[in-house]
Amino acid sequence: MRVGEFGRAHGVRGEVRVKSYTQDPLTLGRLGPLTAADGRRIVIADLRSAPGGAPDMLVARVAGVADRTAAEALTRLVLYAPRTALAPADDPDEWLVEDLIGLETRDAAGVSYGRIVAVPDFGAGDLLEIAPPGARTTVYLPFTRAFVPSVDIAAGVVTIAPPEDFLAPPKPGPDDQPEDESEDGA
């Protein structure tokens, strides 16, 4: 499962910034060897918080990476760990994103709204990205207790409480009005 992604090089001695996707960012250094998206085996030799205060941004020293050029070659490389390397959640209301992908969404009456295809966070909190059956586009639902009252991983179902117009086509806004073809309306 995806646990991090390398950013830009940090300094000239081979260190590299890394964004951790684990709940405790420093867990990234305790997962053992990681697998990169390109198949390389990555061993994090040292890990510390990055300057700037973002808790999920770290600075890593990677085994075999000794200079800035080698660190730059890691930029944008996604890191994966085997599922078995991650401890199970202590809280019954916590799930791994990977556990949610592919689950069916249904309302309390059992009406299906589609399957979860992603759980993005664009800065205002987690969302469920749902692919409705037969639709060409996905829809988003806030991943909050108000909209997602229950998750049953074993049953493969996420119960949702969508707004009334959840799958309705968007209403035209003021910018969506057709323009006149000429200034005099003719």
CA separation for the pair 159, 113 (Å, rounded): 10
Task: Enumerate domains of the chain plus CATH numbers.
Answer: 2-85 (2.40.30.60), 97-159 (2.30.30.240)
Q: How large a percentage of the chain has pLDDT more than 70?
A: 91
Using one digit for the tens of pLDDT, what is the confidence trace for 76-118?
999 999 888 877 767 777 788 888 999 999 999 999 999 999 9
Q: Would you say residue 170 has pLDDT above 70?
A: no
- Does this model's pTM top 0.95? My answer is no
User: Residue 68 CB: number of other CB atoms within 10 A?
Assistant: 17
- Cα dihedral across residues 31, 35, 36, 42: positive or negative: positive
Which one is predicted more confidently, 178 or 30?
30
pLDDT of residue 186: 52
Using one digit for the tens of pLDDT, what is the confidence trace for 30-77?
998 999 989 999 999 999 999 988 889 999 999 999 999 999 999 999
Query: Which own/partner pairs from 126-133 qualify as long-range (CB within 8 Å, at least 24 positions apart)?
Result: 128/100, 128/158, 128/160, 130/105, 132/167
Query: Tokens representing 74?
Result: 């890691």
Q: Would you say residue 177 has pLDDT above 70?
A: no
Q: Would you say residue 135 has pLDDT above 60?
A: yes
Q: Give yes or no for a contact between 36 and 80, defined as CB atoms under 8 angstroms apart.
A: yes
Q: Give yes or no for a contact between 71 and 9, defined as CB atoms under 8 angstroms apart.
A: yes
CA separation for the pair 47, 26 (Å, rounded): 7
Q: Would you say residue 148 has pLDDT above 90?
A: yes
pLDDT of residue 183: 53
To which residue do tokens 């229950």 refer?
150
Q: Give yes or no for a contact between 162 and 107, defined as CB atoms under 8 angstroms apart.
A: yes
Q: Give yes or no for a contact between 58 and 17, defined as CB atoms under 8 angstroms apart.
A: yes
Which one is predicted more confidently, 127 or 84?
127
Using one digit for the tens of pLDDT, what is the confidence trace for 14-29?
999 999 988 889 999 9
